[in-house]
Structure 1
C-alpha cells in the first residue's frame, strides 16, 4: 500500500441553479464586501449581471474587477489586488474560466498578506493566509476550482505557478446554467483539456494514488459520455452539468497526482502562438501518448476500458492503440484543429518550442517516460 496525501476544496456544490445561493454562502463565510474577479467575456455574455442580481438582492456590498485576460500577466494580478484594497474587500469570488479563478486565488491571498507575488512562485512558498474565497467555473475544463495552483504569465513567453493548499477555496459552485451559452469550440477545447487532466493524473509517475485514480476514471467516463452532446447541443443541461462535474473530478485528480508531458509541451504553444491552453493540449495529446506507450501501456489499456467498454481488443497494446485512435477521432468530431500547422504554428519554430518545453521540468518529471529535448522535437514534428 503506497502512502499518499489528498487535499481538495472544502465544500463542493454540484447543482444547476446553485448560483442562487451565492449570497448565503458568502454570509456563512463572513463575507460582507466581496470582490468579484472576472473577465470581459463573462460581462459580454451577460453572466456577470446574473451574479450581480443575486448579490444585489442581499445585504452584500460588492465590487467588480472584470479585466482578467487569458494567461494573465503579473500586471493583471496587481491591478486586481489594487481593486480589492480600494474596496476593502473581505472576501473574493472568482467567476469565469481558469484565468479568472487563478487570479482570484492570488487576490484572496495577497489582499490578506504582506507577501509579494514574486516571493511566492514555486511549491509551498506561501506563508500567509487568505481571505474567504468562492470559485464559480463557467467552463468545464481547468478544474481550477479544486486545484491548489495559480498560473501566471511572467514574461513574453514564460509562465510560473504558485502552488499551495492555501489557494484551495472554501466553496466551489458547479452550476451548468452558467455554461449554456458557451461556444462550441470553447466547449470542445476545454473538454479535451479536462480529459488530458484525467489521463495524465492516472499515469503520473509521482503521487499517483487510489483516490486520484478513482476520480480520473470517473471523470473520463463522464466526459467521454457527454462531450460530443455538449459541443453539438450546447443547451443540453444534463450534458453540461456532467461535463462540469467531470472537469472538476479531473481537477481533483491532477491536483494530487500531477500532470506531465502533454502540459509541458502545450505551454510553449500558448506562450509563443497564444493558442488557448485546451487546444494546445489537444494538439499534442495523441503524439505524447504514442511516445509514452512503451512505458504506460497497462495504464492506457485501463483507460481504454473506461472510454470504450466494448472495445473488443485482446491485448493491452491493442487497447492502447484503440484509446489513441478514439481520442484522435474525438478531436476531429468536436471540430478542433488536428495539427500544429492548422493552428498557425510555423515549422521553423519547432526547435524553439522543444527547447522551451524542457524548462517545464516540474511537469516532465511526472511523465511515465523520460523526455529529452530531441524527444520533444520529435513529438512536435509528429504533431505538425
Structure 2
C-alpha cells in the first residue's frame, strides 16, 4: 500500500481575467493593506492595472515593490522585507515569474516573523507564522505559485533554497490573459522549465507517489502538446491556459516529489552567469536524460507512451529512447541558445561548475542514477 503526504495551496482560482478580482480575494483573507511584489517591466507594461483597480474598488491599500531581480539576491529580498515592515502591510501578493513569487514568499514570512536568511536555508528550518499570501504567475514555467520553496542567490553566487510548508500560498490565481504578451524566447524557456519539473517529479527516487505521478503525466502531456502552438502564436488563449495549467500541475507534482540532477546542474549556471532558470534547465536536460536512461528506462518509457500515444514500442528501452528523442527534437526547435558556449559560459569554468553541482546534494539524492563529479563534468562537456 502507498504511504505518502501530499500538500499544495488550499485554493486555486483559474479564469481569464481572474487578476481583476484580486481585491475580492484579498478581502476574503482579511487583508487591508496589500504588498504587491513584482518587477519593473510588468509594472511599466500595465499588467497590474486591473489588479490595482480591483484593490482600490475593494478599499484595500496597495504598496508596490517593483524592484525584484532575477535569481533574487539576498539583499534584494531583505530590502523588500524592510519596506513591507515599514509600510505596515498585512498581506502579500507575488505578481510575475518565479523570482517575484519566490521573493513574495519570503516577504510574507519575514515581515511577520523576522529571522536571518542564512539560518533558514534547507528543509523545515523556517519559523512562522507568515502574512496572508496570494500568488499570481505571469509565466507558464516555474510553478512557484504552488510550491513550498524559495530559491535565492547568496553573496557567494550559490543558489540556495528555503523549503517549508509555510511558503505555500493561501491562493494561487491563474489568469492566462497575463501570459499573452510573453515573447517566444521567454515562452520557450519557461515552458521547458515546467516540462523538466514534470519529468523529474515522475522519475524522482524520493517521495514519488500516485498523486504526483498523475499530475506530472498530465502536466507533461499538456505542455508537450501546446508549447509549439504558443511559440508560433502567442495570442492563442486556449493554448496559453493549457500551458499555465500544465505548469501548475508540474509545480504541484515536484513540490511533493522533488527534482534531481537537471536542477542540480542548472543551479550553478544560474548562480554564476545569471542565465534564466528555464534556459539552464533546458541546456542540461538532454545530457541528464541520456545519463539516466539505464536507470530510468521504465519510467521514461511511461512518459513516452503519454506524450506519443500513437506510437508502439517493443519494450521500455525502445520507448525510453523515443522519449529522449522527442525531447531532443523539441528543445532543438526552441528559440534559445542550444549549448553552454552560445550561452556565454567559458569552457575553463566547467570543472568549477561540476564541483558546485556536487554541492547540491539536496537534489542529487533524488536523481534516478547516482551522479559523481566525473559524471557532472562529462554532462557539462556534452552540451558545451
* Same fold flag (TM > 0.5): yes
1:314 matches 2:326: no
In structure 2, the partner of 1:217 is 217
CA contact (8 A) 1:119 1:125 kept: yes
In structure 2, the partner of 1:195 is 195
Comparing 190-199 and 9-18, the one that deviates more: 9-18
1:293 matches 2:293: yes
Comparing 169-178 and 12-21, the one that deviates more: 12-21
In structure 2, the partner of 1:144 is 144
> Considering only aligned residues, what root-mean-square deviation do their CA atoms show, in Å?
1.0
Q: Distance in 2 between matches of 1:199 and 1:320?
A: 12
Q: List per-residue Cα deviations over 1:54-100 (Å, max 9, x = no partner).
A: 22222011100000010011111111111111211000010000110
In structure 1, the partner of 2:185 is 185
* Cα distance, 1:219 vs structure 2: 0.2
Q: Tell me the TM-score normalised to structure 2 length.
A: 0.98
What number of residue pairs does the alignment pair up? 384
1:333 matches 2:306: no
For 1:293, what is the secondary structure of its paired residue? helix
In structure 1, the partner of 2:110 is 110
CA contact (8 A) 1:35 1:64 kept: yes
In structure 1, the partner of 2:240 is 240
Which consecutive unaligned segments of at least 5 residues does structure 2 have? none
Q: Distance in 2 between matches of 1:61 and 1:162?
A: 29
CA contact (8 A) 1:115 1:128 kept: no
Which consecutive unaligned segments of at least 5 residues does structure 1 have? none
For 1:68, what is the secondary structure of its paired residue? coil
For 2:25, what is the secondary structure of its paired residue? helix
Q: Distance in 2 between matches of 1:343 and 1:117?
A: 30
For 1:63, what is the secondary structure of its paired residue? strand
For 1:186, what is the secondary structure of its paired residue? helix
Q: Distance in 2 between matches of 1:296 and 1:337?
A: 27
Q: List per-residue Cα deviations over 1:16-38 (Å, max 9, x = no partner).
A: 11112211110010001000001
In structure 2, the partner of 1:283 is 283
In structure 2, the partner of 1:363 is 363
CA contact (8 A) 1:180 1:237 kept: yes
Q: Tell me the TM-score normalised to structure 1 length.
A: 0.98
For 2:66, what is the secondary structure of its paired residue? strand
Q: Distance in 2 between matches of 1:38 and 1:293?
A: 39
CA contact (8 A) 2:221 2:306 kept: yes
Q: Distance in 2 between matches of 1:4 and 1:197?
A: 19
In structure 1, the partner of 2:44 is 44
1:374 matches 2:374: yes
In structure 2, the partner of 1:77 is 77
Q: Distance in 1 between matches of 2:234 and 2:44?
A: 18
